Amino acid sequence: GAVVSQHPSWVICKSGTSVKIECRSLDFQATTMFWYRQFPKQSLMLMATSNEGSKATYEQGVEKDKFLINHASLTLSTLTVTSAHPEDSSFYICSATQPRGTVGQPQHFGDGTRLSIL
Amino acid sequence: AQTVTQSQPEMSVQEAETVTLSCTYDTSENNYYLFWYKQPPSRQMILVIRQEAYKQQNATENRFSVNFQKAAKSFSLKISDSQLGDTAMYFCAFMNYGGATNKLIFGTGTLLAVQP
Protein backbone atom coordinates (compact mmCIF):
# COMPACT_ATOMS: atom_id res chain seq x y z
CA GLY A 1 0.00 0.00 0.00
CA ALA A 2 0.83 3.74 -0.03
CA VAL A 3 2.16 3.89 -3.58
CA VAL A 4 3.04 7.20 -5.17
CA SER A 5 3.58 7.41 -8.90
CA GLN A 6 5.57 10.23 -10.46
CA HIS A 7 5.73 10.92 -14.17
CA PRO A 8 7.79 11.42 -16.23
CA SER A 9 10.90 9.84 -14.78
CA TRP A 10 13.22 11.71 -17.11
CA VAL A 11 12.71 14.68 -19.40
CA ILE A 12 15.02 16.64 -21.64
CA CYS A 13 13.81 19.84 -23.20
CA LYS A 14 14.99 23.07 -24.71
CA SER A 15 15.48 26.25 -22.74
CA GLY A 16 12.34 28.36 -22.59
CA THR A 17 9.82 25.54 -22.64
CA SER A 18 7.52 24.61 -19.78
CA VAL A 19 7.59 21.17 -18.23
CA LYS A 20 4.83 19.51 -16.21
CA ILE A 21 5.52 16.77 -13.67
CA GLU A 22 2.69 14.69 -12.24
CA CYS A 23 2.48 13.08 -8.83
CA ARG A 24 -0.29 10.60 -8.10
CA SER A 25 -1.20 8.66 -4.99
CA LEU A 26 -2.44 5.34 -6.34
CA ASP A 27 -4.05 3.63 -3.38
CA PHE A 28 -4.77 6.34 -0.84
CA GLN A 29 -6.13 9.85 -0.67
CA ALA A 30 -3.42 12.42 -0.21
CA THR A 31 -4.67 15.65 1.27
CA THR A 32 -1.13 16.94 1.28
CA MET A 33 1.66 16.50 -1.21
CA PHE A 34 5.18 17.86 -1.09
CA TRP A 35 7.58 18.85 -3.83
CA TYR A 36 11.33 18.59 -3.33
CA ARG A 37 14.38 19.42 -5.34
CA GLN A 38 17.60 17.46 -4.92
CA PHE A 39 21.06 18.29 -6.21
CA PRO A 40 23.63 15.49 -6.60
CA LYS A 41 24.86 14.06 -3.30
CA GLN A 42 22.76 16.53 -1.33
CA SER A 43 19.68 16.30 0.81
CA LEU A 44 16.13 16.96 -0.28
CA MET A 45 15.20 20.61 -0.35
CA LEU A 46 11.50 21.26 0.23
CA MET A 47 10.10 23.56 -2.40
CA ALA A 48 6.43 23.68 -1.51
CA THR A 49 3.59 22.02 0.32
CA SER A 50 0.51 21.34 -1.73
CA ASN A 51 -2.91 20.99 -0.13
CA GLU A 52 -5.87 19.71 -2.10
CA GLY A 53 -8.20 22.50 -3.11
CA SER A 54 -6.07 25.36 -1.88
CA LYS A 55 -3.00 27.32 -2.90
CA ALA A 56 0.38 25.77 -2.34
CA THR A 57 2.66 27.04 0.41
CA TYR A 58 6.11 27.82 -0.96
CA GLU A 59 9.34 27.74 1.00
CA GLN A 60 11.39 30.88 1.26
CA GLY A 61 13.42 31.56 -1.85
CA VAL A 62 11.29 29.44 -4.17
CA GLU A 63 9.73 31.41 -7.01
CA LYS A 64 6.03 30.61 -7.13
CA ASP A 65 5.71 31.99 -10.66
CA LYS A 66 8.51 29.74 -11.85
CA PHE A 67 7.27 26.58 -10.13
CA LEU A 68 3.50 26.35 -10.48
CA ILE A 69 1.79 23.78 -8.30
CA ASN A 70 -1.75 22.52 -8.73
CA HIS A 71 -3.40 20.03 -6.38
CA ALA A 72 -6.81 19.67 -7.96
CA SER A 73 -7.80 16.31 -6.55
CA LEU A 74 -7.03 14.05 -3.62
CA THR A 75 -4.82 11.88 -5.77
CA LEU A 76 -3.03 14.26 -8.12
CA SER A 77 -0.63 17.15 -7.77
CA THR A 78 1.32 18.72 -10.61
CA LEU A 79 4.46 20.82 -10.71
CA THR A 80 5.01 22.96 -13.79
CA VAL A 81 8.42 24.47 -14.34
CA THR A 82 7.66 27.48 -16.48
CA SER A 83 10.09 28.88 -19.04
CA ALA A 84 12.72 26.43 -17.89
CA HIS A 85 16.41 27.32 -18.10
CA PRO A 86 19.55 25.22 -17.61
CA GLU A 87 19.79 26.26 -13.95
CA ASP A 88 16.44 24.55 -13.37
CA SER A 89 17.99 21.22 -14.28
CA SER A 90 17.74 18.99 -11.24
CA PHE A 91 16.09 15.95 -9.69
CA TYR A 92 12.55 16.67 -8.53
CA ILE A 93 10.75 14.36 -6.09
CA CYS A 94 7.19 14.43 -4.86
CA SER A 95 5.74 12.82 -1.79
CA ALA A 96 2.28 12.33 -0.40
CA THR A 97 0.89 11.87 3.04
CA GLN A 98 -2.42 10.61 4.27
CA PRO A 99 -5.20 12.91 5.38
CA ARG A 100 -4.51 15.78 7.73
CA GLY A 101 -5.13 14.69 11.25
CA THR A 102 -3.44 11.35 10.76
CA VAL A 103 -0.57 12.53 12.87
CA GLY A 104 2.87 11.14 12.28
CA GLN A 105 2.06 9.40 9.07
CA PRO A 106 5.23 9.02 7.00
CA GLN A 107 5.58 10.64 3.63
CA HIS A 108 5.52 8.25 0.70
CA PHE A 109 7.74 9.25 -2.17
CA GLY A 110 7.51 9.04 -5.92
CA ASP A 111 10.49 7.78 -7.89
CA GLY A 112 11.54 11.28 -8.92
CA THR A 113 11.95 13.13 -12.19
CA ARG A 114 15.30 13.97 -13.70
CA LEU A 115 14.91 17.26 -15.55
CA SER A 116 17.58 18.34 -18.02
CA ILE A 117 17.26 21.70 -19.76
CA LEU A 118 19.47 22.22 -22.78
CA ALA B 1 13.20 25.99 14.47
CA GLN B 2 14.00 22.32 14.32
CA THR B 3 17.27 21.12 12.83
CA VAL B 4 18.62 17.67 12.01
CA THR B 5 22.36 16.93 11.92
CA GLN B 6 24.11 13.95 10.39
CA SER B 7 27.80 14.32 11.13
CA GLN B 8 29.03 11.41 9.00
CA PRO B 9 29.00 12.34 5.29
CA GLU B 10 30.30 8.90 4.27
CA MET B 11 30.74 5.52 5.89
CA SER B 12 31.91 2.12 4.79
CA VAL B 13 31.22 -1.34 6.20
CA GLN B 14 32.10 -4.89 5.24
CA GLU B 15 29.34 -7.20 4.18
CA ALA B 16 27.79 -9.06 7.16
CA GLU B 17 29.19 -6.53 9.64
CA THR B 18 27.25 -4.05 11.74
CA VAL B 19 27.28 -0.30 11.23
CA THR B 20 25.74 2.61 13.12
CA LEU B 21 24.74 5.89 11.52
CA SER B 22 24.46 8.95 13.74
CA CYS B 23 21.76 11.58 13.85
CA THR B 24 21.11 14.39 16.29
CA TYR B 25 18.34 16.91 16.24
CA ASP B 26 17.32 20.07 17.98
CA THR B 27 13.79 20.89 19.03
CA SER B 28 11.90 22.46 21.89
CA GLU B 29 8.91 20.22 21.26
CA ASN B 30 8.12 17.23 23.46
CA ASN B 31 6.08 15.20 21.00
CA TYR B 32 7.43 14.42 17.56
CA TYR B 33 8.35 11.65 15.16
CA LEU B 34 11.69 10.59 13.78
CA PHE B 35 12.38 8.66 10.59
CA TRP B 36 15.20 7.08 8.67
CA TYR B 37 14.85 7.04 4.90
CA LYS B 38 17.11 5.20 2.49
CA GLN B 39 17.92 6.43 -1.02
CA PRO B 40 19.76 3.81 -3.13
CA PRO B 41 21.43 4.67 -6.45
CA SER B 42 18.02 4.39 -8.10
CA ARG B 43 17.19 7.56 -6.09
CA GLN B 44 13.91 6.16 -4.80
CA MET B 45 13.21 7.28 -1.21
CA ILE B 46 12.39 4.28 0.97
CA LEU B 47 11.16 4.45 4.55
CA VAL B 48 13.42 2.32 6.75
CA ILE B 49 12.11 2.91 10.25
CA ARG B 50 9.92 5.26 12.30
CA GLN B 51 10.04 6.23 15.99
CA GLU B 52 7.46 8.07 18.07
CA ALA B 53 9.10 10.31 20.64
CA TYR B 54 6.62 9.37 23.35
CA LYS B 55 7.63 5.72 23.11
CA GLN B 56 10.65 4.73 25.17
CA GLN B 57 11.08 1.43 23.37
CA ASN B 58 13.44 1.61 20.41
CA ALA B 59 11.90 0.76 17.04
CA THR B 60 13.17 -2.26 15.11
CA GLU B 61 12.53 -3.53 11.58
CA ASN B 62 14.32 -6.78 10.86
CA ARG B 63 18.04 -5.90 10.53
CA PHE B 64 17.42 -2.23 11.24
CA SER B 65 17.10 -0.79 14.73
CA VAL B 66 17.41 2.59 16.32
CA ASN B 67 18.93 3.90 19.50
CA PHE B 68 16.64 6.74 20.52
CA GLN B 69 17.98 8.91 23.31
CA LYS B 70 15.39 11.62 23.86
CA ALA B 71 17.27 13.59 26.49
CA ALA B 72 20.37 13.68 24.32
CA LYS B 73 18.27 14.31 21.18
CA SER B 74 20.00 11.48 19.45
CA PHE B 75 18.53 9.00 16.98
CA SER B 76 21.09 6.59 15.56
CA LEU B 77 20.40 3.79 13.09
CA LYS B 78 22.04 0.38 13.47
CA ILE B 79 22.21 -1.94 10.49
CA SER B 80 23.07 -5.51 11.38
CA ASP B 81 24.39 -8.14 8.98
CA SER B 82 24.99 -5.51 6.31
CA GLN B 83 24.13 -6.52 2.78
CA LEU B 84 25.30 -5.14 -0.55
CA GLY B 85 21.78 -3.87 -1.16
CA ASP B 86 22.10 -1.62 1.87
CA THR B 87 24.46 0.61 -0.09
CA ALA B 88 22.61 3.92 -0.23
CA MET B 89 22.31 7.43 1.08
CA TYR B 90 20.57 7.43 4.45
CA PHE B 91 18.59 10.44 5.63
CA CYS B 92 17.42 11.10 9.15
CA ALA B 93 14.22 13.16 9.34
CA PHE B 94 12.13 14.94 11.98
CA MET B 95 8.37 15.56 12.00
CA ASN B 96 6.67 17.78 14.53
CA TYR B 97 3.67 16.16 16.24
CA GLY B 98 1.68 19.34 16.18
CA GLY B 99 2.26 20.10 12.53
CA ALA B 100 -0.81 20.25 10.32
CA THR B 101 0.89 18.94 7.21
CA ASN B 102 3.26 16.18 8.31
CA LYS B 103 6.19 18.23 7.05
CA LEU B 104 9.62 16.57 7.29
CA ILE B 105 12.94 18.17 8.13
CA PHE B 106 15.82 16.20 6.68
CA GLY B 107 19.44 15.88 7.69
CA THR B 108 22.21 16.18 5.12
CA GLY B 109 22.53 12.44 4.71
CA THR B 110 25.16 9.74 5.18
CA LEU B 111 26.41 7.82 2.17
CA LEU B 112 26.89 4.19 3.20
CA ALA B 113 28.95 1.82 1.10
CA VAL B 114 28.78 -1.89 1.87
CA GLN B 115 31.94 -3.61 0.68
CA PRO B 116 31.98 -7.27 -0.44
Reported as a single tens digit per residue, the pLDDT across A23-36 is 999 988 888 899 99
Max Cα-Cα span within chain B = 44
**DSSP class of B42:** T
Per-residue pLDDT reduced to its tens digit, B7-46 = 999 999 999 999 999 999 999 988 899 999 999 999 999 9
Confidence band for B99, pLDDT divided at 50, 70 and 90? low
What pLDDT was estimated at residue A41? Answer: 86
Closest to A111 in 3D by CA, of A24, A17, A42? A24
How many Cβ atoms are within 10 Å of B92's Cβ, its own excluded?
28
Select the more confidently predicted residue: B48 or B102.
B48
Confidence band for B98, pLDDT divided at 50, 70 and 90? low
When scoring B23, B102, B105 by the number of chain A Cβ atoms within 10 A, the one with the most, hence best to mutate, is B102
B47 close to B58: Cβ distance less than 8 angstroms: no
Q: How many CA atoms lie within 13 A of B24 on its CB side?
A: 6
Mean pLDDT of all residues belonging to chain B: 94
State how far the Cα of A79 lies from the Cα of A91, in Å rounded to an integer. Answer: 13
Confidence band for B76, pLDDT divided at 50, 70 and 90? very high
Q: For chain B, what's the residue count?
A: 116
Please tell me if residue A44 touches chain B, with a CB cutoff of 8 Å: yes
By Cβ distance, the residue of A44, A91, A111 closest to B106 is: A44
Q: Is the pLDDT of residue A64 over 60?
A: yes
